[in-house]
Copies of this chain bind each other. A is one copy, B any other.
Amino acid sequence: MTEIRQLALRAREAARALARTSTAVRDGALVAMADALRRETALILAANALDMEAAGTAGTPAPLLDRLMLDAARIDGIAAAVEALAREVDPIGEVVSGHRMPNGIWLQQVRVPLGVVAMIYEARPNVTADAAALCVKTGNAAVLRGGSLAIHSCLAISDVLAEAATAAGLPAHSIQSITSTDRAATDELMSLHGLIDVLIPRGGAGLIRNCVENSRVPVIETGVGNCHIYVHNGADLDMALPIVINAKCQRPGVCNAAESLLVDESVCETHLPPILRALAAAGVELHGDERTRSLGAVEVVPATEEDWGTEYLDMKMSVKVVSGLGEAIEHINTYGTKHSEAIITGDYEAAKRFLDEVDAAAVYVNASTRFTDGGEFGLGAEIGISTQKLHARGPMGLVALTSTKYLAMGDGQVRP
């Protein structure tokens, strides 16, 4: 038997035992895990130094190095997030629905853990702790697969957490990491239908596509966001401009940042030049259609078909003049990734139609797309943002890591 299959079998065993643990034991384990992270700061930083050194040698770009880098303050922040989870309400055991059947059977639908949750992610060491803690909170066994760039940091954090969890009374192997960074390990993990209940990839579009195309384990797609801001002819420029700047520039590398700007033809001469100038002044590289370029407000690179479908995750934005609401909705439903989409308008009917017809996890009127986030939406912790329609859509909180089962208590009923 291969190492990955053995690990998955151990996870399955741990999941069965975890499903029987109490809320108090799991919350206690979270506090112990946070304490352990703080106590073992030096060990984690030593592992992180190995990753940083290798990444530096490999010429890794600065933003990626920043995501990879840990220091005592960041580890304390990671520990605080783990600790905060202990104070969230436990979703497990909730009676979701129930009634007495006409034949007298007492039927309840109760919330239970999913079982074994696998996460594949890239060079962010904090995801190791986030994912492990969310799984502990929801009674799931965690199988973690960090990216090669962060592998020493991820394994160190995972070891510290696993040891603390076991010491606090959780079953052995509740938290496990895959040590191999070979592609073959991921491939095998994705083949373990029946042993792994769900696979959640967190990372770039390539990672997510690979999982969708090759996994036999059910996948929850997360996070690819080609988000649009549509400035309708009923928009007030004083409202539109700060929203566009915020959605594009406040944190361009995240999935809920805007990548594309659509502006109605009838207001493109009044509204678009000041917006383009503000974007350019903020350092945004603009890729526009012919009409946008003809305005001559600032330098605009000609947009290609590819631009409309691209999630830049960078200080770049595509810009298109549209004939009106219908074309804007059509463009968004064609090129968007069903993440977050916004209209800026003062027109009631346009707002209502945009909310009704745009097919996305979150649809906004007169607000920045940057609010699509578990914390902002009041979900507490967040495991990712689902861009698919099955199981969970939009920011996924603790409930997304649960399933339900029916309990039927009878006294001899048989089916007539």
SS of A interface (majority)? mixed
User: CB of A87 within 8 A of chain B?
Assistant: no
Q: In the complex, which residue of chain B has the Cβ closest to the Cβ of A388?
A: B218
A406/B101 contact (C-beta < 8 A), A216-B213, A218-B390, A412-B242 known: no
Can you list 10 pairs linking A and B with CB atoms under 8 Å apart?
A101-B377, A105-B367, A239-B411, A355-B407, A366-B409, A366-B410, A368-B414, A370-B415, A372-B406, A394-B405
Q: Which A6-58 residues sit within 8 Å CB-CB of chain B?
A: 16, 19-20
A105/B390 contact (C-beta < 8 A), A246-B415, A408-B362, A412-B239 known: no
Q: Which A197-238 residues sit within 8 Å CB-CB of chain B?
A: 197-198, 212-213, 216, 218-220
Per the bound structure, the CA–CA distance linking A414 and B257 in Å amounts to: 12
- Give every chain B residue within 8 A of A410 (Cβ-Cβ): 364-367
Do the beta carbons of B359 and A406 come within 8 Å of each other?
A: no
- Give every chain B residue within 8 A of A390 (Cβ-Cβ): 114, 197-198, 218, 220, 390-391, 403
**A107-B377, A393-B406 known; 17 other A-B pairs, CB under 8 Å?**
A16-B333, A99-B378, A103-B371, A107-B378, A213-B216, A218-B388, A218-B390, A239-B411, A239-B412, A362-B405, A364-B410, A367-B414, A368-B415, A370-B414, A371-B408, A372-B406, A390-B403
Partner of A406, one of B107, B197, B363: B363
User: CB of A294 within 8 A of chain B?
Assistant: no
User: CB of A71 within 8 A of chain B?
Assistant: no
Per the bound structure, the CA–CA distance linking A219 and B391 in Å amounts to: 11
User: CB of A66 within 8 A of chain B?
Assistant: no
Number of interface residues of A (CB under 8 A): 68
A404/B412 contact (C-beta < 8 A), A105-B371, A212-B193, A218-B388 known: no
In the complex, the count of this chain's copies comes to 2
Beta-carbon contacts of A300-328 to B below 8 Å, as 1s and 0s?
A: 00000000000000000000000000000
User: CB of A115 within 8 A of chain B?
Assistant: yes
- Give every chain B residue within 8 A of A355 (Cβ-Cβ): 407, 409
Do the beta carbons of A20 and B367 come within 8 Å of each other?
A: no
User: CB of A389 within 8 A of chain B?
Assistant: yes
User: CB of A357 within 8 A of chain B?
Assistant: yes
User: CB of A349 within 8 A of chain B?
Assistant: no
Partner of A376, one of B101, B368, B372: B101
Do the beta carbons of A242 and B414 come within 8 Å of each other?
A: yes
Q: Determine which residue in A250, A403, A415 has the highest number of CB atoms from chain B within 10 A of its CB, and name it.
A: A415
